[in-house]
Amino acid sequence: MLDIVVSIALIAVVLSMIGIVYRVIKGPSTADRVIALDSLGISLISVIGLVSILLRTSVFLEVILLLGILAFIGTVAFSKFIEKGEIIQRDRHK
Amino acid sequence: MKKTNDVILQTVTKIISFIIILFSIHLFFAGHYTPGGGFIGGLMTAAALVLLLLSYDIKTMNKILPFDYKRMTAIGLLIAVLTAAGALLFNVPFFTHAYDYFDIPLLGETSLHTAVLFDIGVYLVVIGITMTIIQTIGESE
């Protein structure tokens, strides 16, 4: 019973990921693509959670937190590049 | 370039970088029995430092954390080699590890393993190399 519910949820998440990938390819501006990539990472987190329920293991739970951190840092880096043109500044008071 | 104000990013960074560093320390010490270890722990600590670099700048980072990351890489390699060579003192082959149980106050009986010392070397090397690469690319014009 649980496996069926988790499989249905997995299919729903994968369908939403296909929609997000369409937005990554089609997105008119760079900001659309960055937000689509961020939500793709968050969807990947939910896929990993559902797969770890299916496999009945708890060793993937570190991966979930890791992907959350990496998605956040990647989005911050991309948005800083869009905003300021450089990712790491040498002196921000100059 | 227009003047911008990153107060939200800097306030969030002050909280989140500590959570990332705590998570990396957890990954480092949990590596013996659960997924984790020196490599991913070092990468996560470097990720926290990169987040600080993103929201501040290289000059501020050099002021608050005055590390020479190339020297950190060398110290990590030295710790790894010395841990492996320490086995030679006890008349056993190179890289033989040992463990024993110790009574530590507050923690109780804990098993301490010399593989942790080797892992500390890996951890320092990974942080040093990652931060050297990122700072060198960030400083070039």
ipTM of predicted assembly, 2 dp: 0.85
Q: Is B116 exposed, middle or buried (0-12, 13-18, 19+ CB in 10 A)?
A: middle
Q: Would the CB atoms of A92 and B57 count as touching at under 8 Å?
A: yes
Q: How many domains does chain B have?
A: 1
Q: For residue B7, what are its two tokens?
A: 């107060």
Total-model pTM: 0.87
Q: Would the CB atoms of B47 and A76 count as touching at under 8 Å?
A: no
Question: Cα–Cα distance between B132 and B123 in angstroms, integer?
Answer: 14
Q: Is B20 exposed, middle or buried (0-12, 13-18, 19+ CB in 10 A)?
A: buried
pLDDT in tens, B108-137: 788 888 888 899 999 999 999 999 999 888
Is the residue at B1 inside a domain?
A: no
Strand B99-104 versus strand B108-113 pairing type: antiparallel
Q: Would the CB atoms of B138 and A87 count as touching at under 8 Å?
A: yes
A-B interface: how many C-beta pairs under 8 angstroms?
A: 53
Q: Which domain holds residue B76?
A: 7-139
pLDDT in tens, A57-74: 988 999 999 999 999 999
- The residue among B33, B7, B11 whose CA lies nearest residue B115 is B33
Quick check: B74 contacting A, CB < 8 Å?
no
Is the residue at B2 inside a domain?
A: no
Is the residue at B53 inside a domain?
A: yes
Is the residue at B30 inside a domain?
A: yes
In the DSSP assignment, the letter for residue A89 is B
Quick check: A62 contacting B, CB < 8 Å?
yes
Q: Would the CB atoms of A69 and B50 count as touching at under 8 Å?
A: no
The length of chain B, given as a count of residues: 141
